[in-house]
């Protein structure tokens, strides 16, 4: 039976014991709620894939309490050190070379010689990892491909008895998953997934970021249809039908939708990012034919918001 536990000192200690015993713990980060297992426990990490119904070729992110813990299993070059100085703790994941001989489960890395690493900024997440004493592998705590969870209630609704304990610290402040930058090859820096840290801030420190150019999946969030509600999404909507829900942005949303939720009436992209997944979930529960989404600027955090919406709007691939 799953348990909802307040994210106080006693709750964090209980969650750390659960992780040490090989159980699955959902916990808040500044981005979304994660479904955690210690990176050294093959059996517990395998349970993450079962609980999420996640493809095994899709690697996980290892969350560390600080840079010293991250450096215990991953190689940080000068570029990684510079980004860590500026943005850790925070919503930035770096894909780095995995150190040889470290006891990280190959399920975490999908058998690759690289590993995704981040130091979360949420105090509950960091205290949990510190109390556990080991890095924690944690994808978003939801069924694979569905809308990411930004509250403890979202976790329970999605995963039910598949999660052993949920630390409840209220809504996640950023609301979008971390930005993922691949630094696993010298002289190359690739933006694998836009997220809670804008491209512009990263490029100001290490120069232009390349895009994804095929090859193995080195990080989560790169599969086609992802972050998806059950209702179909219609993007770029400037008009709306009476049987649609509207996900609005800005001060002048079109009238006529059955239900309207506004990501940010003042047009603030940080506010929109924080509201995105929770509002998608609420509109998905309405009795509507589809969800219309207003245009959202692509600069700054808008790049990540549009990435999530494009993936969520992709049609379900037919089964061969």
CATH number for the domain including 162?
3.90.870.10
User: Are 64 and 173 within one domain?
Assistant: yes
Out of 189, 206, 223, pick the residue that ends a domain. Answer: 206
The answer on 154 and 118 residing in a single domain is yes
Residues 47 and 193 in one domain: yes
Q: Which of 191, 206, 221 is the last residue of a domain?
A: 206
Quick one: pLDDT band at residue 211, thresholds 50, 70, 90?
confident
Residues 150 and 197 in one domain: yes
Domain that holds residue 174: 4-206
**Residue 320, in any domain of the structure:** no
**pTM higher than 0.85, yes or no?**
yes
* Residues 182 and 106 reside in one and the same domain: yes
- Same structural domain for residues 116 and 53? yes
User: Within a domain: residue 213?
Assistant: no
**What's the confidence (pLDDT) of residue 320?**
39
In a domain, 218, yes or no: no
Is the per-residue pLDDT at 94 higher than 70?
yes
Has residue 214 been placed in a domain? no
Please check whether residues 199 and 292 belong to one and the same domain.
no
In a domain, 119, yes or no: yes
Q: What is the mean pLDDT of the chain?
A: 93
Answer yes or no: do 15 and 62 share one domain.
yes
CATH of the domain at 283: 3.40.50.11030
- Whether residue 138 is contained in a domain is answered as yes
Chain segment 213-234, per-residue pLDDT in tens: 656 666 665 666 677 899 999 9
Please check whether residue 200 lies inside any domain of the structure: yes
Residues 6+ apart with CB under 8 A from 284: 147, 229, 230, 231, 291
> What per-residue confidence (pLDDT) applies to 319?
38
Tell me the per-residue pLDDT of 115-150, one tens digit each, with 9 for 90 and over.
Answer: 999 999 999 999 999 999 999 999 999 998 899 999
Considering the chain, what percentage of its residues have pLDDT values greater than 70? 94
Domain count, the chain: 2
Tell me: pLDDT of 197 over 80.
yes
Query: Is residue 228 a part of any domain in this protein?
Result: no
Same domain, 290 and 160: no
Do 107 and 185 lie in a common domain?
yes
Q: Please indicate, yes or no, whether residues 115 and 166 belong to a single structural domain of this protein.
A: yes
The model's confidence at residue 55, banded by pLDDT at 50, 70 and 90, is confident
pLDDT of 318 reads 42
CA–CA distance, 150 with 165 (Å, rounded to integer): 16
pLDDT digits (tens, 9 = 90+) for 251-290: 999 999 999 999 999 999 999 999 999 999 999 999 999 9
199 and 306 in a single domain? The answer is: no
């Amino acid at each position: 039976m799953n348990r909802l536990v307040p994210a106080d000192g006693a709750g964090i200690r209980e969650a750390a014991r659960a992780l040490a015993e090989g159980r699955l713990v959902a916990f808040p980060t500044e981005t979304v709620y994660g479904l955690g297992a210690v990176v050294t426990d093959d059996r517990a990490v395998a349970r993450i894939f079962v609980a999420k119904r996640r493809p095994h070729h899709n690697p996980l992110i290892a969350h560390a309490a600080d840079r010293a813990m991250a450096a215990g299993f991953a190689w940080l070059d000068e570029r990684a050190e510079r980004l860590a100085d500026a943005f850790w703790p925070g919503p930035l994941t770096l894909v780095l070379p995995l150190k040889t001989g470290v006891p990280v489960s190959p399920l975490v890395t999908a058998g690759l010689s690289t590993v995704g690493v981040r130091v979360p900024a949420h105090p509950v997440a960091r205290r949990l990892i510190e109390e556990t004493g080991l890095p924690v592998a944690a994808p978003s705590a939801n069924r694979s491909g569905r809308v990411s969870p930004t509250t403890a209630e979202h976790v329970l609704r999605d995963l039910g008895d598949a999660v052993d304990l949920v630390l409840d610290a209220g809504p996640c402040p950023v609301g979008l998953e971390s930005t993922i930058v691949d630094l696993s090859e010298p002289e190359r820096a690739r933006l694998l997934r836009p997220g809670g840290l804008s491209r512009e801030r990263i490029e100001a420190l290490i120069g232009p970021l390349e895009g994804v150019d095929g090859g193995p999946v080195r990080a989560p969030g790169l599969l086609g249809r992802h972050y998806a509600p059950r209702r179909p999404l219609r993007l770029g909507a400037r008009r709306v039908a009476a049987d649609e829900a509207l996900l609005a942005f800005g001060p002048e949303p079109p009238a006529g939708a059955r239900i309207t939720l506004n990501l940010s009436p003042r047009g603030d992209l940080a506010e929109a990012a924080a509201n995105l997944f929770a509002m998608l979930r609420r509109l998905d529960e309405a009795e509507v034919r589809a969800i219309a989404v207003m245009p959202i600027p692509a600069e700054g955090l808008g790049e990540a918001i549009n990435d999530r919406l494009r993936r969520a709007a992709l049609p379900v691939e037919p089964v061969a």
